[in-house]
Amino acid sequence: MPTHTERLAITAALASAFAVAVYLRRRRRATLPPPGPPQPALLANAAELRRLLEVIEMEILPKTAVRVAAGDKVFGAAILKEDLGTVVAETNHETENPMYHGEVYAIREWSSVCRSCDPSVGPPAAADSIFLATHEPCCMCISSIVWSGFKRCYYLFPYETTRDQGIPHDLNIMYELWRVPRYAQRNAFCSTAGLLPLIAALEDGEARAELEATVARITQRYDELSTKYHAEKAANPLNTMAFN
């Protein structure tokens, strides 16, 4: 057992180490370069919003239902051309690989399509494409989107919806690793925008009411799939994720 003198020395050493850590943290913050000019804010009219919701409901959700039955989570993504034509629409494959979130798997499939096509007729480059996520991308996925070169990313459900569906890890990891509530949604590399605020910003009328009804229908389906995932995940031997 340490003597009184030894305990004092240990306490002093810990205090010194803490002081150094605080100093270095403050110094890092003080020496950070200023942020670069942000990418333009993302906008969308009623027709464009209708198409983005259509991709989620008709192209991503059917694949998600199949993968949830296999033990995967509900997150999906699509990569679209400038005219919102679909290049790939995919969903979560974490039971195959823990890094295969819906966004990462979509990038994987997109890159395969790009490699197999003549560049003159193949899919557009990432910078000329639209990234669409069913849920706000986690820190790994938004980083993957940026590293892949995508500059525009829309999503339907924000982090808070994901948390309320029983999967709070997006927020928790962001807090614990970087001590921030979320990434900068407009930055030098990309801009992201939620579909829900864009719909809410539309003029009140038939188009907005139609989009809100579509969102309600999609939300109900995701709630059902989320309930199914949570009810069955413990019995699925393939689900080896540490964060379930």
Options 3.40.140.10, 3.40.50.300, 3.20.20.70, 3.60.15.10; which CATH number does 39-235 get? Answer: 3.40.140.10
C-beta of residue 35 within 8 angstroms of C-beta of residue 184: yes
Distance CA 21, CA 23 (A): 5
Domain ranges of the chain: 1-32, 39-235
Distance CA 130, CA 236 (A): 34
Pick from 75, 193, 194, 58: nearest CA to 141: 75
Distance CA 29, CA 232 (A): 44
Tell me how far apart the 2 most distant CA atoms of the chain are, in Å: 78
* pLDDT, one tens digit for every residue, the chain (244 residues): 667 665 555 566 555 665 545 555 665 666 778 889 999 999 999 999 999 999 999 999 999 999 999 999 999 999 999 999 999 999 999 999 999 999 999 999 999 887 666 666 677 899 999 999 999 999 999 999 999 999 999 999 999 998 888 888 899 999 999 888 889 999 999 999 999 999 999 999 999 999 999 999 999 999 999 999 999 887 665 554 445 4
One-letter identity of residue 157 = F
What is the β-pairing status of strands 76-80 and 191-194? unpaired
At 184 the pLDDT is 94
At 237 the pLDDT is 56
- Name the one residue in this structure whose structure tokens are 């969102």: 215
At 242 the pLDDT is 47
Q: DSSP string covering 135-195, please?
A: E---HHHHHHHHHHT--EEEEEE-HHHHHHTT--HHHHHHHHHH--SS--SB-SS-EEEEH
pTM, two decimals, is: 0.84
At 132 the pLDDT is 98
At 240 the pLDDT is 47
Give the three-class secondary structure for 200: helix
Give the three-class secondary structure for 79: strand
- Name the strand (E) or helix (H) holding 88: strand 86-91
The pLDDT tens digits for 201-226 are: 999 999 999 999 999 999 999 999 99
